[in-house]
A and B are shown apart, each in its own frame.
Chain A
């Protein structure tokens, strides 16, 4: 299957600072990537759809000014958590599909565990 790489796998930051998470498609070009958040024992919740060369589409209830998404190239999307607070602590996961196969499986990154102290 296709490979999606996410970095870093773990990050601890102080309250009020910003954190950037990278998601890369290693062996294919992804015009669309997805960002999810997962709380303990909860399901993955779609936060936003990242579109290469255009603005991201955010799900209802997700603050676009807090979770900045940039998809500047066909292989890289970044999620920046701005002015992080302890309630932003969570597991963030990105995914992508191989272009032309939009109704097939999405491939997920390894996830990033964010802890805000």
Chain B
């Protein structure tokens, strides 16, 4: 059974204070690892897809990295508007076509001015 564990559950930072969010996963065969941002009462908004260990992707103040067991979402000099819940999800190979995602519970990030 595919599993995704995110830590910490909640993180409160001061504006400008950099940090990292962790996503540990176990999956039979990783097809892709996805990071999403979710604001309260909204659907997830896509951030990154990572496919293989060693891969890195960046977008503004965010950088995602991937190893064979975990992924990190690094946030550099965050701003209050970066406050949200960050979700990690994996897609496994099932031998079929399109597959659903297995999500972690998310990290609730609060950036204080």
A interface list, Cβ under 8 A from B = 1, 4, 6, 31-32, 34, 36, 41-46, 49, 59, 91, 93, 95, 97, 102-111, 113
Q: Is the CB of A43 within 8 A of B99?
A: no
Q: Could you tell me if B46 and A113 are in contact, using CB atoms closer than 8 angstroms?
A: no
Docked complex: B50-90 residues within 8 A CB-CB of A? 51, 87, 89
Supposing A107-B46, A111-B42 touch, asked if A102 and B98 sit within 8 A by C-beta, the answer is yes
- Please indicate the chain B residues that have their CB under 8 angstroms from the CB of A31 in the complex: 98
| Interchain CB contact (< 8 A) of B103 among A43, A59, A104 | A43
Q: Range of interface residues on chain B?
A: 20 to 34
- List the A side residues contacting B34 at CB < 8 Å: 105-106
Judging by beta carbons under 8 Å apart, are B98 and A46 in contact?
no
**Could you tell me which B residues sit within 8 Å of A by CB distance?**
4, 31-32, 34, 36, 41-46, 49, 51, 87, 89, 91, 97-106
Q: Which of B31, B42, B102, B104 contacts A103 (CB 8 A)?
A: B31
CB pair A102–B43 under 8 Å, yes or no, is no
- Residues on A with beta carbons closer than 8 Å to the beta carbon of B99: 49, 102
Contacts of A43 in B (CB 8 A): 4, 87, 103-106
A44 touches B44 (CB 8 A): yes
A102: chain B residues within 8 A (beta carbon): 97-99
Nearest residue (CB) in A for B35 is: A105
Q: With contacts A32-B98, A49-B100 known, is A1 near B41, CB below 8 A?
A: no
Question: Does the CB pair B46–A109 fall under 8 Å?
Answer: no
> In the complex, which residue of chain B has the Cβ closest to the Cβ of A96?
B98
In the assembled complex, the Cα of A105 lies from the Cα of B99 at a distance in Å of 11
Cβ B98 vs Cβ A105 within 8 A: no
Q: How far, in angstroms, from A73 to B103 measured CA to CA in the complex?
A: 27
**Could you tell me if B98 and A97 are in contact, using CB atoms closer than 8 angstroms?**
yes
Name A10's closest neighbour in chain B (CB-CB).
B41
Interchain Cβ contacts under 8 Å between A and B, 13 examples? A31-B98, A36-B100, A42-B105, A43-B87, A93-B43, A105-B34, A106-B34, A106-B46, A108-B46, A110-B42, A111-B41, A111-B43, A113-B41
- The contact of B43 among A49, A59, A105, A110, by CB within 8 Å, is A110
Cα A30 to Cα B103 with chains together (Å): 21
